[in-house]
Amino acid sequence: MDSIPLPAIEFKHITKYFTGSERQRAVLNGITAKVSPGKITTLVGPSGSGKSTLLSLCNLLLSPDEGEISVFGKPVSEWEIPELRRKVALVFQDAPMLQGTVLYNLQTAERLHGTVLHDPSGLLERVGLTRDLLDQKAQDLSGGQRQRLALARTLANRPDILLLDEITSALDPASVKEVEDLLLQMNKEEGTTMIWITHHMEQARRVGNETWLMIDGKLVEQADTETFFHAPQHSETRRFIAGEWV
């Protein structure tokens, strides 16, 4: 009898409070869910629903106020932070570039974790950038080029889990397809687990094995992507898919 694999990430009753000018509010409210290993989970929902906050908890950029998060069965509080962030990598929508060349940015993993970057040119080409950019200043790249460099910089760590926060939002349609194809290939060939925040429902359909909907800090629906879009269980999900959510 095959054993059931551990979730890549497990959220147990996660609550996170932010204190505003008037009162404390829960930006995440009792999130309980499991991220399937080797799968792509697309995370959708209105702006301000807590999606980015949820990702930031997974590698301890933020800490939950209540509840527990585990990565491969081990609570995040028990991980050494450098090792956790090597395993669980977060790529932001507008990732900041370090001052210096493209190569210097790619060598971030070497400096942080002591890993060796064997093929920086190949890593660039993997994300659709040309090797002649290695000696160029990262600050001089276009927005789309910087986004792809941020992804390449993250991939240099060979993470087991990728947390992707609207990473294709600044790209033209052809570049979006290139990045999607790259990540789908990584998922298929290397089994990289991904949580992918997107505001584009068609992208969620294309890339997600599972899709979750968050609204007002709560996880409203979680299902395999086909079921999510064609047989949603909740009225909020049906309204959101139909574009009726305000």
The domains located in the chain, with CATH, are 9-241 (3.40.50.300)
| Tens of pLDDT, residues 228-242 | 999 999 999 999 998
Residue 144: both structure tokens together: 């789309």
Q: Are 133 and 164 in contact (CB under 8 A)?
A: no
Residue 97 DSSP code: P
Regions of the chain short of the pLDDT cut 70 = 1-3, 20-23, 113-114, 245-246
Task: Check residue 53 and give its pLDDT.
Answer: 95
Question: How far is 74 from 214, CA to CA, in rounded Å?
Answer: 25
Question: How far is 130 from 135, CA to CA, in rounded Å?
Answer: 11
Q: Secondary structure of the chain: what % helix, strand, coil (to 5)?
A: 40, 25, 35
Task: Check residue 22 and give its pLDDT.
Answer: 62
Helix (H) or strand (E) segment spanning residue 31: strand 24-35
**What backbone torsions phi and psi does residue 58 show, to the nearest 5 degrees?**
-75, -25
CB proximity list for 92: less than 8 A, separation 6 or greater: 150, 165, 167
Helix (H) or strand (E) segment spanning residue 197: strand 193-197
Task: Check residue 65 and give its pLDDT.
Answer: 94
Beta bridge partners, 90, equal: 163
Task: Check residue 113 and give its pLDDT.
Answer: 66
Cα 189 from chain centre: 18
Task: Check residue 165 and give its pLDDT.
Answer: 94
With b for 16 or more beta-carbon neighbours within 10 A and e for fewer, the 192-204 pattern comes to bbbbbbbeebebb
Q: Which amino acid, 23?
A: R
46: Cα within 13 Å, side-chain hemisphere: 17
Helix and strand numbers (H, E) in the chain are 10, 10
Q: Is residue 105 packed enough to be buried (19+ CB in 10 Å), middle (13-18) or exposed (0-12)?
A: buried
